[in-house]
Structure 1
Amino acid sequence: MIVETYSHPVNQLLTFGDCRKIKEKTNYIEKFGFTPEDIPELIRMAVDEELNWGDSEGLEIWGPIHAWRALGELRAEEAIDPLISIFDELEDIDWTSSEMPIVFGQIGPAAIPSLAAYLDKQGPNIYHLSVAASCLRGIGTEHPDSRYECVKIITGKLAKFQENDATFNAFLLLDLVKLKAVESAPVIQSAFAADCIDYWIMGDWDEVQFQLGLGPRKNPENIRKAKVHKEMMELLNNQGEAQPSKGFSSSIKKTSQKKSKKKKRK
């Protein structure tokens, strides 16, 4: 059994539970007593091919995600390159896109060079590359002193908008908007002018300017959509049924479903 190949306390992650059903945030260090001495074993679980690629319906397939989270809490710089190495391999785009930015945001600025190098690689598909960009965004958000460097790297990648896939450009744009990267506006505007950004994530240049705080919406259609959205949310809130935004991972899922092979953590 896989659980027998891992030592205590790391082996507890293999039976901890389905991440979809664990609603409360877990403090892994507090709950399991992890220390820096557990980092090598956590890294081994995080990249374990049998766990990441297994077809099992058991709880052990969630072990790697728990290990990612624990490594983030431990600020495990030793895990930077091992975690990045599995970007190309994992098909669970929804989980990597939602979890890895948090993990790397916790690990911090030490990960910036490796993430930047991955972002410049030839070969990874746009969804894996977008995870790396979002990890930079996570670092820039959690470590304001590193925000400028992260924005510069993401903007530099977007500046190659004519070479990039238009959907990938939209993912980069989303990260810049979340970082409130007003300084990137000239590059963003040029990418829109060249018709190199898909509108389905952030909308048009008018909407992006509004999101960056550069002025009010001017496009009547954007104003109409914003009004309808506000009315819908107010209605849901009044009914007590408002649901939280699914965020970036749900956007990727819509596009990547046709591109991915079988996913095990559905």
Structure 2
Amino acid sequence: MTAPTYLPPVDKLLTYGDCRNFRNWPKYVKELGLEAEHIPELIRMATDPELNWADSDSLDVWAPIHAWRSLGQLKAEAAIDPLLSIADELEDSDWFNEDIPEVFAMIGPAAIPSAKTFLADPSHTLYARVAVAECCVKIGQAHLDARADCVAAIQQQLDQFAKNSPDFNGFLVADLLDLEAVEAAPSMERAFAARRVDLSFVGDWLDAQIALGLKTRAQVYRLRHTVDAEQLGSKAAKPAPQPQGFGAAPTRSKKGKKK
């Protein structure tokens, strides 16, 4: 298969190298002289299926990663929807899932509307939606003026907890905790109360309240032990069931009073 051709200086990304050899993201814009005029070519490279599915031993397979990182550094708003368009296809790619939230944080709040729409669409795959929710987290952390919109996007999806899978709800709760979204506590509480949150993510509602600063660890410790003690007391108060043989014992009728 012939490798796709690209115009310079974008073509240099085809042989830029294995991303595992870079501790930090290179400064592509400065090193290659990338400018706004190169954005369409970078988008084409980032979304190129031949490159994204190239041989894992080739340098070509790393080119899309360099391209979307470059788009982030250029704050390329035009790349938002094209990058979202490959999220389902690349849902199993650790590189995509870990990089795209950082890329969107660089691009900024302009990505929120598209991310919100993607997040609310159940036709998308689980891990693609998880990655996009993480995009909202990173944008909210990098742009405090947009934090409320990011919280709202995630909270709106958590409010659909009955339709979401428990593990998706677990991811959403974890994202809200990362944003320290105390304002979303009612939504979280409802999801936990409905038993629609996978507890392996952040623990139970009491644990979430600790993370939000709504309760101290000491308070939660006392609550847990009070509940445990009440449950034990309730069990102890119940009469032990009478032993049964192979069949139920015949019921004895009460004797009438002697006249």
Normalising by the smaller structure, the TM-score range is 0.7 to 0.9
Q: After TM superposition, give the deviation of residue 96 of structure 1 in Å.
A: 2.2
Does residue 1:126 correspond to 2:129, yes or no? no
Output one character per residue of 1:165-203: Cα deviation in whole Å (capped at 9) or x when no partner.
010111111111111101011111111111111111212
Partner in structure 1 of residue 205 of structure 2: 205
SS of 1:2's partner is: coil
Partner in structure 2 of residue 195 of structure 1: 195
CA distance in 1, matches of 2:124, 2:25: 31
- Structure 2 stretches lacking a partner, 5+ long: 225-259
Output one character per residue of 1:221-247: Cα deviation in whole Å (capped at 9) or x when no partner.
xx9xxxxxxxxxxxxxxxxxxxxxxxx
The code of the aligned residue for 1:38 comes to H
Does residue 1:113 correspond to 2:113, yes or no? yes
Q: After TM superposition, give the deviation of residue 219 of structure 1 in Å.
A: 4.8
**How do residues 132-143 of structure 1 correspond to structure 2 at under 5 angstroms?**
132-143=132-143
Indicate the structure (1 or 2) with the bigger Cα radius of gyration: 2
CA distance in 1, matches of 2:105, 2:175: 13
Partner in structure 1 of residue 77 of structure 2: 77
- Structure 1 stretches lacking a partner, 5+ long: 224-266
Partner in structure 1 of residue 45 of structure 2: 45
The alpha-carbon distance between structure 1 residues 214 and 93, as it changes in their structure 2 partners (threshold 3 A), is farther
Partner in structure 1 of residue 36 of structure 2: 36
CA distance in 2, matches of 1:184, 1:91: 27
The code of the aligned residue for 2:58 comes to G
SS of 1:187's partner is: helix
TM-score (norm 2): 0.81
The code of the aligned residue for 2:130 comes to S
**How do residues 1-266 of structure 1 correspond to structure 2 at under 5 angstroms?**
1-2=2-3, 5-217=5-217, 218-220=219-221
Counterpart contact for 2:91–2:127, Cα < 8 Å = no
Counterpart contact for 2:166–2:196, Cα < 8 Å = yes
How many pairs align?
221
Q: After TM superposition, give the deviation of residue 136 of structure 1 in Å.
A: 1.3
Counterpart contact for 1:93–1:127, Cα < 8 Å = no
Once structures 1 and 2 are overlaid, which stretch shifts more, 38-47 or 209-218?
Answer: 209-218
Aligned-residue RMSD, C-alpha? 1.8
CA distance in 2, matches of 1:14, 1:159: 43
The code of the aligned residue for 1:147 comes to R
Moved over 4 A (4+): none
Identity across the alignment (%): 49
